[in-house]
Structure 1
Amino acid sequence: MTATDPTLAADIDACCRLTGEFTLRSGQQASEYFDKYLFESDPLLLGRVAREMAQLLPAGTELLGGLELGGIPLATTLSNLVGLPALFVRKQAKTYGTCKLAEGADVAGRRVTLVEDVITTGGAVRDATRALRDAGAVVEVVVCAIDRSPEGENPLSDVGLEVRPVLTKVQLDAARALNAG
């Protein structure tokens, strides 16, 4: 699916693409990096991304599960926009207080759509999916701002998760080429 905001890819690319030497969460080395905090800290860009995400939410979503850390501002903004409760999913359950992995409403028996910023290999999403399913949640879809995985591949097919991106790396590359030309 293509974003309905015609300049979003170009604006995100111009704001967030950094070049250099970067180590990704997966351990992979990359010569470019999409610093999602640069758009997530900009209220106008964050709102534009959330409006696109709203169109990607599957019917029947009961909770929006924002993954620590980058998915949390997206899930909060999206929650405010569509009126669904947000859930804040930690990388690890707290070892104090409530000792919860997911902060917010109980997930047991509820349909949770995960919200993530950037997906490359899907490691954090995979971990969250397994943990939420173990807690009784129904998790079938992740909506993300940017899918960096190779075109046509679903890095989360092994856990039966559908990835619905606002933008793909291919779209961001095309926007960059168009602006450079």
Structure 2
Amino acid sequence: MGIAVSGCEICYTGRSKKAGVSMADYKERLRDVLKEKAVIFGEVTLSSGEKSNYYIDCRKVTLDAEGAFLIGEVLSDMLEDADAVGGLTLGADPIATAVAVKSYEKGKPVEAFIVRKGQKAHGMMKRIEGPIEPGSNVIIVDDVITKGGSILEAIEAAEAEGHHVIKAICLVDRQQDGSDIIRDKGYKLEMLFTTADLGVSAG
């Protein structure tokens, strides 16, 4: 199932095509995997505190073998001049790692970093973990945007340590004002999908 690379063929659910699959193909498959594995219906409380009748559990995809491969493939094509990619733990961690691995494979390596939810109280007492050089150009990543709080917190932490935030990228926008809030603060934001793309209504 999904995309399997074997020799010079790439197979989709039993069908094959010549190597040279497009980025649009990878993105389409990632959307399908998110629809199949990440969308959960039922009343939940979101990180923003709001109630919703569905939940987007992206960790079922970001920690999935095929999902991580697809995320790395798609996002590593969106890096511009970034030196590093990361975001607020926990949602951003597997995304940043997948992108770093794929960027190395493509010969244009970027580092991954993790933004803690609070400064470490022992050891090196870091807020940001990873092999990131001072003054780096960074991209902030996250799995889902609701009100934008996680991305803004990661941006604030990165800028506080002297890094330049090129943009933010999220996998799924719940279309609940988060993207507007981030852009209104002057930051560039790109999202791969909206909830509508995954077949669910905003709310």
Both structures adopt the same fold (TM-score exceeding 0.5): yes
Matched with 1:88 is 114
**Largest Rg, 1 or 2:** 2
Matched with 2:149 is 123
Indicate the larger mover: 67-76 or 98-107: 98-107
Give the number of the structure whose residues are more often helix, by fraction.
1
Quick check: 2:113–2:132 contact (8 Å CA) kept in 1?
no
The alignment's TM-score, normalised by the length of structure 1, stands at 0.86
Matched with 2:57 is 35
1:158 Cα deviation from its structure 2 partner: 3.6
Matched with 2:191 is 165
Give matches, 1:1-181, under 5 Å. 3-5=24-26, 6-57=28-79, 59-82=80-103, 83-150=109-176, 153-173=179-199
* Structure-2 separation of matches of 1:21 and 1:114: 29
* Structure-2 separation of matches of 1:152 and 1:96: 33
* Structure-2 separation of matches of 1:131 and 1:162: 17
Structure 2's unaligned 5+ residue stretches are 1-22, 104-108
Q: Percent identity?
A: 29
Runs of 4+ in 1 over 6 A off after TM superposition: none
The alignment's TM-score, normalised by the length of structure 2, stands at 0.77
Matched with 1:179 is none
What does the per-residue CA deviation read over 1:60-95, in whole Å, with 9 as the maximum and x for residues that have no partner? 101112320021111011101002111111111111
Structure 1's unaligned 5+ residue stretches are 177-181
What does the per-residue CA deviation read over 1:122-143, in whole Å, with 9 as the maximum and x for residues that have no partner? 1011111112111111013111
Could you say what secondary structure the match of 1:114 adopts?
strand
**Equivalenced residues, count:** 173
* Coordinate RMSD, CA, aligned: 2.2
Quick check: 2:84–2:132 contact (8 Å CA) kept in 1?
no
